Structure 1
Amino acid sequence: MRKGQPGRPERRFCHVFVPHTTCGLAINENADPDVKRDIIVKLDDSISEDFPYRHGEGNSPAHIKSVLVGPSLSVFVEDKALQLGTWQGLYLCEYDGPRTREVWVKLVKG
Protein backbone atom coordinates (compact mmCIF):
# COMPACT_ATOMS: atom_id res chain seq x y z
CA MET A 1 0.00 0.00 0.00
CA ARG A 2 1.10 3.53 -0.63
CA LYS A 3 1.86 5.58 2.43
CA GLY A 4 -0.94 7.97 3.15
CA GLN A 5 -3.34 6.22 0.77
CA PRO A 6 -5.02 3.43 2.75
CA GLY A 7 -6.69 0.74 0.70
CA ARG A 8 -4.96 1.65 -2.57
CA PRO A 9 -2.43 -0.78 -4.03
CA GLU A 10 1.03 0.40 -4.98
CA ARG A 11 1.22 0.63 -8.78
CA ARG A 12 4.34 0.70 -10.87
CA PHE A 13 5.63 -0.08 -14.31
CA CYS A 14 8.46 -2.51 -14.88
CA HIS A 15 10.41 -1.42 -17.94
CA VAL A 16 12.77 -4.05 -19.35
CA PHE A 17 15.40 -3.27 -21.99
CA VAL A 18 18.21 -5.17 -23.73
CA PRO A 19 21.11 -2.98 -24.94
CA HIS A 20 21.92 -5.28 -27.86
CA THR A 21 21.13 -5.31 -31.59
CA THR A 22 20.78 -9.06 -32.14
CA CYS A 23 18.28 -10.04 -29.46
CA GLY A 24 14.89 -8.78 -28.31
CA LEU A 25 12.19 -9.02 -25.68
CA ALA A 26 8.67 -10.33 -26.14
CA ILE A 27 5.56 -11.20 -24.19
CA ASN A 28 3.72 -14.23 -25.46
CA GLU A 29 2.11 -17.50 -24.43
CA ASN A 30 4.12 -19.37 -21.84
CA ALA A 31 1.99 -22.49 -21.36
CA ASP A 32 2.24 -24.39 -24.64
CA PRO A 33 5.85 -24.90 -25.85
CA ASP A 34 4.54 -25.32 -29.41
CA VAL A 35 3.75 -21.59 -29.53
CA LYS A 36 7.41 -20.74 -28.89
CA ARG A 37 8.50 -23.27 -31.50
CA ASP A 38 6.03 -21.89 -34.06
CA ILE A 39 7.28 -18.34 -33.53
CA ILE A 40 10.91 -19.41 -33.96
CA VAL A 41 10.16 -21.45 -37.09
CA LYS A 42 8.11 -18.65 -38.68
CA LEU A 43 10.75 -15.99 -37.96
CA ASP A 44 13.43 -18.28 -39.42
CA ASP A 45 11.27 -18.96 -42.51
CA SER A 46 10.50 -15.27 -42.99
CA ILE A 47 14.06 -13.99 -42.61
CA SER A 48 16.29 -16.10 -44.79
CA GLU A 49 19.90 -16.90 -43.96
CA ASP A 50 20.54 -17.22 -47.71
CA PHE A 51 19.67 -13.66 -48.74
CA PRO A 52 22.69 -11.69 -50.07
CA TYR A 53 22.97 -9.31 -47.10
CA ARG A 54 25.55 -6.54 -47.36
CA HIS A 55 26.46 -6.60 -43.65
CA GLY A 56 29.60 -8.72 -43.55
CA GLU A 57 29.46 -10.31 -40.09
CA GLY A 58 27.00 -13.05 -41.03
CA ASN A 59 24.37 -12.07 -38.48
CA SER A 60 22.09 -9.85 -40.56
CA PRO A 61 19.05 -12.08 -39.93
CA ALA A 62 19.59 -11.54 -36.18
CA HIS A 63 19.56 -7.76 -36.64
CA ILE A 64 16.34 -7.90 -38.67
CA LYS A 65 14.58 -10.18 -36.16
CA SER A 66 15.55 -7.88 -33.31
CA VAL A 67 14.01 -4.92 -35.15
CA LEU A 68 10.76 -6.85 -35.61
CA VAL A 69 10.54 -8.01 -31.99
CA GLY A 70 12.02 -4.92 -30.31
CA PRO A 71 14.50 -4.30 -27.48
CA SER A 72 12.09 -3.32 -24.71
CA LEU A 73 8.75 -3.86 -23.05
CA SER A 74 6.78 -2.55 -20.10
CA VAL A 75 4.57 -4.47 -17.68
CA PHE A 76 2.31 -3.17 -14.93
CA VAL A 77 3.38 -4.12 -11.41
CA GLU A 78 0.80 -4.17 -8.66
CA ASP A 79 1.44 -5.30 -5.09
CA LYS A 80 4.98 -6.38 -6.09
CA ALA A 81 3.76 -8.76 -8.82
CA LEU A 82 3.97 -8.47 -12.61
CA GLN A 83 0.49 -8.14 -14.05
CA LEU A 84 0.59 -10.60 -16.92
CA GLY A 85 -2.27 -12.44 -18.56
CA THR A 86 -2.99 -16.01 -17.53
CA TRP A 87 -0.88 -17.54 -20.30
CA GLN A 88 1.70 -14.79 -20.74
CA GLY A 89 5.42 -14.96 -20.09
CA LEU A 90 8.41 -12.74 -20.82
CA TYR A 91 10.95 -13.99 -23.36
CA LEU A 92 14.50 -12.97 -24.09
CA CYS A 93 14.71 -13.75 -27.81
CA GLU A 94 18.29 -14.65 -28.73
CA TYR A 95 19.06 -14.53 -32.46
CA ASP A 96 22.86 -14.55 -32.51
CA GLY A 97 24.05 -16.77 -29.74
CA PRO A 98 24.37 -18.16 -27.31
CA ARG A 99 25.94 -14.99 -25.93
CA THR A 100 26.19 -13.27 -22.60
CA ARG A 101 23.49 -10.60 -22.51
CA GLU A 102 22.57 -7.74 -20.21
CA VAL A 103 18.95 -7.12 -19.29
CA TRP A 104 18.21 -3.75 -17.73
CA VAL A 105 15.16 -3.49 -15.46
CA LYS A 106 13.71 -0.27 -14.09
CA LEU A 107 10.69 0.10 -11.81
CA VAL A 108 8.84 3.36 -12.34
CA LYS A 109 6.06 4.68 -10.12
CA GLY A 110 2.79 4.74 -12.01
Structure 2
Amino acid sequence: METLQVQTHSREEMVDVTRAIRHLISENGWSDGALLLYCPHTTGAITVNEGADPDVVRDITVNMNKLVPYRGDYHHAEGNSDAHIKSSMFGCDQMVIVEGGNIQLGTWQKIYFCEFDGPRTRKLWAKWLNAK
Protein backbone atom coordinates (compact mmCIF):
# COMPACT_ATOMS: atom_id res chain seq x y z
CA MET A 1 0.00 0.00 0.00
CA GLU A 2 1.18 3.52 -0.83
CA THR A 3 0.19 6.73 0.94
CA LEU A 4 -0.18 10.07 -0.81
CA GLN A 5 -0.28 13.33 1.11
CA VAL A 6 -2.92 15.82 0.00
CA GLN A 7 -2.71 19.40 1.24
CA THR A 8 -6.01 21.26 1.24
CA HIS A 9 -6.32 25.03 1.51
CA SER A 10 -9.94 25.75 2.36
CA ARG A 11 -12.80 24.24 4.33
CA GLU A 12 -14.29 22.67 1.22
CA GLU A 13 -12.53 21.93 -2.01
CA MET A 14 -12.00 19.27 -4.61
CA VAL A 15 -8.30 18.66 -5.23
CA ASP A 16 -7.34 17.10 -8.57
CA VAL A 17 -5.04 14.19 -7.65
CA THR A 18 -4.96 12.60 -11.11
CA ARG A 19 -1.36 13.61 -11.86
CA ALA A 20 -0.17 12.29 -8.47
CA ILE A 21 -1.96 8.96 -9.10
CA ARG A 22 -0.41 8.70 -12.58
CA HIS A 23 3.03 9.39 -11.08
CA LEU A 24 2.48 6.73 -8.42
CA ILE A 25 1.56 4.16 -11.08
CA SER A 26 4.61 5.02 -13.18
CA GLU A 27 6.97 5.15 -10.19
CA ASN A 28 5.92 1.65 -9.10
CA GLY A 29 5.93 0.15 -12.60
CA TRP A 30 2.33 -0.96 -12.36
CA SER A 31 0.96 -2.04 -15.72
CA ASP A 32 -2.26 -4.02 -15.85
CA GLY A 33 -4.67 -4.25 -12.93
CA ALA A 34 -6.75 -2.04 -10.72
CA LEU A 35 -5.89 0.60 -8.18
CA LEU A 36 -8.04 1.02 -5.11
CA LEU A 37 -8.01 4.59 -3.78
CA TYR A 38 -9.20 4.99 -0.21
CA CYS A 39 -9.74 8.08 1.93
CA PRO A 40 -9.20 7.22 5.63
CA HIS A 41 -10.93 10.38 6.89
CA THR A 42 -14.55 10.74 7.99
CA THR A 43 -14.78 14.27 6.58
CA GLY A 44 -13.08 13.64 3.24
CA ALA A 45 -13.92 11.59 0.16
CA ILE A 46 -12.67 10.50 -3.25
CA THR A 47 -14.58 10.85 -6.52
CA VAL A 48 -14.20 10.84 -10.30
CA ASN A 49 -15.79 13.66 -12.28
CA GLU A 50 -15.18 16.19 -15.05
CA GLY A 51 -11.85 17.97 -15.02
CA ALA A 52 -12.01 20.03 -18.23
CA ASP A 53 -14.37 22.76 -17.04
CA PRO A 54 -13.64 24.17 -13.54
CA ASP A 55 -17.25 25.29 -13.30
CA VAL A 56 -18.22 21.65 -12.71
CA VAL A 57 -16.24 21.53 -9.44
CA ARG A 58 -17.70 24.89 -8.47
CA ASP A 59 -21.22 23.67 -9.22
CA ILE A 60 -20.73 20.50 -7.19
CA THR A 61 -19.37 22.40 -4.18
CA VAL A 62 -22.00 25.17 -4.23
CA ASN A 63 -24.90 22.79 -4.63
CA MET A 64 -23.64 20.29 -2.04
CA ASN A 65 -23.72 23.22 0.39
CA LYS A 66 -27.36 23.83 -0.53
CA LEU A 67 -28.20 20.15 0.01
CA VAL A 68 -26.18 19.86 3.22
CA PRO A 69 -25.57 23.31 4.73
CA TYR A 70 -22.76 24.06 7.17
CA ARG A 71 -25.29 25.14 9.78
CA GLY A 72 -28.24 22.83 10.23
CA ASP A 73 -30.14 20.67 12.68
CA TYR A 74 -27.05 18.81 13.86
CA HIS A 75 -26.22 17.40 17.30
CA HIS A 76 -22.57 16.43 16.69
CA ALA A 77 -20.52 18.58 19.09
CA GLU A 78 -17.52 19.22 16.80
CA GLY A 79 -19.47 21.50 14.46
CA ASN A 80 -18.61 19.57 11.30
CA SER A 81 -21.68 17.38 10.86
CA ASP A 82 -22.17 18.63 7.32
CA ALA A 83 -18.68 17.35 6.45
CA HIS A 84 -19.50 13.87 7.76
CA ILE A 85 -22.70 13.76 5.73
CA LYS A 86 -20.99 14.95 2.53
CA SER A 87 -18.23 12.40 3.01
CA SER A 88 -20.81 9.61 3.24
CA MET A 89 -22.63 10.89 0.17
CA PHE A 90 -19.47 10.86 -1.98
CA GLY A 91 -17.85 7.78 -0.46
CA CYS A 92 -14.44 6.89 0.84
CA ASP A 93 -13.16 4.83 -2.10
CA GLN A 94 -12.79 4.58 -5.86
CA MET A 95 -11.47 1.74 -7.99
CA VAL A 96 -9.70 2.72 -11.21
CA ILE A 97 -8.63 0.42 -14.03
CA VAL A 98 -4.99 0.54 -15.10
CA GLU A 99 -4.09 -0.83 -18.53
CA GLY A 100 -0.59 -0.61 -19.98
CA GLY A 101 0.46 1.64 -17.10
CA ASN A 102 -2.29 4.18 -17.84
CA ILE A 103 -5.36 5.02 -15.78
CA GLN A 104 -8.44 4.29 -17.85
CA LEU A 105 -10.46 7.47 -17.42
CA GLY A 106 -12.98 9.04 -19.77
CA THR A 107 -11.86 11.95 -21.94
CA TRP A 108 -12.92 14.61 -19.43
CA GLN A 109 -12.56 12.67 -16.18
CA LYS A 110 -10.21 13.47 -13.31
CA ILE A 111 -9.77 11.95 -9.85
CA TYR A 112 -10.55 14.31 -6.97
CA PHE A 113 -9.84 14.26 -3.27
CA CYS A 114 -12.84 15.96 -1.67
CA GLU A 115 -12.19 18.06 1.42
CA PHE A 116 -15.18 18.96 3.56
CA ASP A 117 -13.51 20.07 6.83
CA GLY A 118 -10.22 21.72 5.95
CA PRO A 119 -7.78 23.08 5.51
CA ARG A 120 -5.71 20.06 6.49
CA THR A 121 -3.00 17.68 5.42
CA ARG A 122 -4.81 14.50 4.39
CA LYS A 123 -3.85 10.98 3.43
CA LEU A 124 -4.99 9.05 0.40
CA TRP A 125 -4.22 5.36 0.43
CA ALA A 126 -3.56 3.50 -2.82
CA LYS A 127 -3.59 -0.29 -3.01
CA TRP A 128 -2.46 -2.02 -6.22
CA LEU A 129 -4.53 -5.02 -7.25
CA ASN A 130 -2.60 -7.01 -9.85
CA ALA A 131 -4.61 -8.61 -12.66
CA LYS A 132 -2.49 -11.80 -12.50
Matched residue, 1:47? 68
Identity among equivalent positions (%) equals 47
Displacement of 1:107 after TM fit?
Answer: 1.0
The superposition leaves residues 5-58 of structure 1 with CA deviations (integer Å, 9 ceiling, x where unpaired) of xxxxx5200110011000000000000000000000010110022212010100
Query: SS of the counterpart of 1:66?
Result: helix
2:118, 2:55 → 1: CA distance?
Answer: 21
Displacement of 1:77 after TM fit?
Answer: 0.2
1:38 matched to 2:59? The reply is yes
Q: TM-score, normalised by structure 2?
A: 0.74
Amino acid at match of 2:63: K
Matched residue, 1:15? 36
2:72, 2:79 → 1: CA distance?
Answer: 11
Amino acid at match of 2:68: I
Amino acid at match of 1:80: G
The superposition leaves residues 49-97 of structure 1 with CA deviations (integer Å, 9 ceiling, x where unpaired) of 2212010100000000000000100000011110000000000000000
Query: SS of the counterpart of 2:96?
Result: strand
RMSD in angstroms over aligned alpha carbons?
0.8
Q: TM-score, normalised by structure 1?
A: 0.89
Rg larger for? 1
Point out 4+ residue stretches in structure 1 off by more than 2 angstroms: none
Unaligned runs of at least 5 residues, structure 1: 1-9
Matched residue, 1:59? 80
2:56, 2:73 → 1: CA distance?
Answer: 30
Matched residue, 2:116? 95
Query: SS of the counterpart of 1:103?
Result: strand
